[in-house]
Chain A
């Protein structure tokens, strides 16, 4: 690991000032950053430790019915906050399906958004990677790429964003609160992460030196609490990234879908909101036919980036299954195996 200067600011404004210089990086739990630094993939010359900043570790219910989650709230604390989990069950389930208990105890909300969009070639400093070394090429494009993107990818980069948490956040219209030298701004989570295009070295729309201070969910996100699920297909039952995942949230009124929210994980460089599919569902009774039509619409623009054509059909099936589970109703308690298609709490495998 390259050495660095360690600074511990006392306030958000001090932190933003300390991170203004080129090569500076914010340190929260470090569960992704330290891993990347140990491998020589990330090489910051200054770490600005934000973990001691006051006031960023709270979950606040605001007067307008929205909820504001401080950037330093730990993933496990958010998932196990009983009121939060009841209001936003798909988010709690997604959080608990991610990483391991040890990592969830450390990893923060802001850090989860900023974990790198990555693949094995990004981690391997002997490989060419446009994200790690801009302009060097992409060894994933003709390499081992069955886990890679099928939506929104470019010739420069085909990596996927690994977050589970961000998938239901995108579906439920979360907003990211950002502090920078020019003051505070907000951006929809759906617009927060970038597609690679010609500049895959930039994962997000965050400008250098900007700090995430909170993630906010609008009041309307709670209207889906009765029919909200996250489903994640992975190559082992626990502690693995998604091959494909989906968040599905429905508002059902008099036997018909009044409103739907859908997003996919594991398919693109960002959590993939499926708005066309949402529109298609509205007004219909929840059944397999309309679910399949919605799933086909969600993947209409998908194309393989390598040996991953299977993901296009898989993503459609995961969407249908997530919609079926959501329509059946949110379980009283998060299943023993969160988001797993093998979970005993949701009956037999379809």
Chain B
């Protein structure tokens, strides 16, 4: 039995016919919508490479059935930059060598955007590390990743302090 769903993906509405209820959001993005920036690492919710935002919240797209997410507003790594202008986190990952092979990077960046949206970590490196623990980096670029997220978070905290001063 086919299921019709509609999603908003990076601001664009997509109407989709699913011929199989087993399709995850991850497979839908990669195989049907050709948005291959979202990576399939473990496919079991353990590595975080498939992290996307649904309604601004980070989740593992490998453990989300597409058919259950009818109406969701999805953001993937492809929707992060504005044309040639990188998102501050993308620029910070480059500046701080927050990657080596790059496979986990889209998930790391989507997770870091989710972390910022949650507003719980502030500029505390320990809270950032804890908040990013759902994203594995096999190359071990963790110190660069933490520095990149910390730089952007510190900028946000300082901007907030300036506004309230």
Contacts and interface: CB of A to CB of B under 8 A. Distances in A.
A103 B68 contact: no
A35 interface: yes
A6 B57 CA distance: 25
B1 interface: yes
Interface in B30-87: 43-45, 48, 51, 57-60, 63-65, 67-68
Given A31-B63, A100-B133, A344 B126 contact: yes
B127 interface: yes
A6 B67 contact: yes
A101 B64 contact: no
B115 interface: yes
Contacts of A1: 22
B63 A35 contact: yes
Q: Chain A, interface size: which category? A: 20 to 34
Which of A34, A103, A238, A344 lies at the interface centre, i.e. has the most chain B CB atoms within 10 A of its CB?
A34
Interface string B1-30: 101000000000000000011101000000
Interface in A24-72: 27, 29-31, 34-35, 38-39, 47, 49, 51
Interface string A114-137: 000000000000000000000000
Interface residues of B, number: 35
Contacts of A8: 68
B68 A51 contact: yes
A217 B50 CA distance: 35
Given A34-B63, A239-B134, A336-B126, A102 B21 contact: no
Contacts of A178: none
Nearest to B136: A239
Given A101-B118, A105-B114, A38 B60 contact: no
Contacts of A103: 45, 60, 63, 134
B65 A34 contact: yes
Contacts of A47: 21, 65
14 contacts: A5-B1, A6-B1, A6-B65, A8-B68, A30-B64, A49-B67, A49-B68, A76-B57, A101-B118, A101-B133, A102-B111, A105-B114, A238-B129, A336-B127
Interface of A: 1, 3-6, 8, 27, 29-31, 34-35, 38-39, 47, 49, 51, 76, 80, 99-103, 105-106, 237-239, 336-338, 344
Given A76-B57, A103-B134, A337-B126, 6 more contacts: A5-B21, A6-B1, A100-B133, A101-B114, A101-B131, A102-B51
